[in-house]
Amino acid sequence: MVNFNERLDKIIPKLKEDKFIEGRGLGNEISFYVFDYEPVHELEMRDYIQHIKKEFDYDGSTRQILEVDLYKTLLEITKEKRIYERIFQMEQRQGKEALFKAMTTFAKPEIFLNKIKEKLEGHNVIFLTGVGKVYPFVRSHNILNNLQEILDKTPVVMFFPGQYDGQSLQLFSKFKDDNYYRAFRLID
Q: Is residue 46 part of a domain?
A: yes
Identify the weakest region by mean pLDDT among 18-27, 31-40, 56-65: 18-27
Phi-psi group of 67: left, alpha or beta (phi > 0 → left; psi -120 to 50 → alpha; rest → beta): beta
Give the Cα separation of 42 and 13 in Å (integer). Answer: 21
**pLDDT for 29 beyond 80:** no
Identify the weakest region by mean pLDDT among 35-39, 159-163, 176-180: 176-180
Q: What is the per-residue DSSP string for 35-55? A: EEE-GGGHHHHHHHHHHHHHH
> Sorting pLDDT into bands at 50, 70 and 90, what band is 180?
low
The residues facing 171 across adjacent strands are 162, 175
Q: Is residue 99 part of a domain?
A: no
Instruction: Report the chain's C-alpha Rg in angstroms.
Output: 17
Q: Is residue 181 part of a domain?
A: yes
**pLDDT for 123 beyond 70:** yes
Q: Is residue 15 part of a domain?
A: no
Q: What is the per-residue DSSP string for 107-164? A: --HHHHHHHHHHHHTT-SEEEEE-HHHHTTTS-HHHHHHHHHHH-SS--EEEEEEEEE
The residues facing 184 across adjacent strands are 33
Q: Is residue 174 part of a domain?
A: yes
**pLDDT for 33 beyond 90:** yes
Stronger pLDDT, 83 or 157, i.e. the higher one: 157
Give the Cα separation of 154 and 31 in Å (integer). Answer: 7
Over residues 137-172, the pLDDT tens digits come to: 888 888 888 887 788 788 999 999 999 888 788 888
pLDDT of 125 reads: 95
Q: Is residue 157 part of a domain?
A: yes
Q: Which CATH number is 163's domain given?
A: 3.40.50
Expressed as residue numbers, the domain containing 142 is 29-56+63-80+108-185
What is the domain count for the chain? Answer: 1
Q: Can you tell me the mean pLDDT for 68-96?
A: 89
pTM of this prediction?
A: 0.90
pLDDT of 34 reads: 93
Q: Is residue 74 part of a domain?
A: yes
Q: Is residue 151 part of a domain?
A: yes
Q: Can you tell me the mean pLDDT for 68-83?
A: 91
Identify the weakest region by mean pLDDT among 9-13, 20-24, 33-37, 137-141: 20-24
Stronger pLDDT, 144 or 43, i.e. the higher one: 43
| Inter-axis angle of helices 140-150 and 109-120, nearest 10 | 50
pLDDT of 30 reads: 72
Neighbouring CB atoms inside 10 A of 80's CB total 11
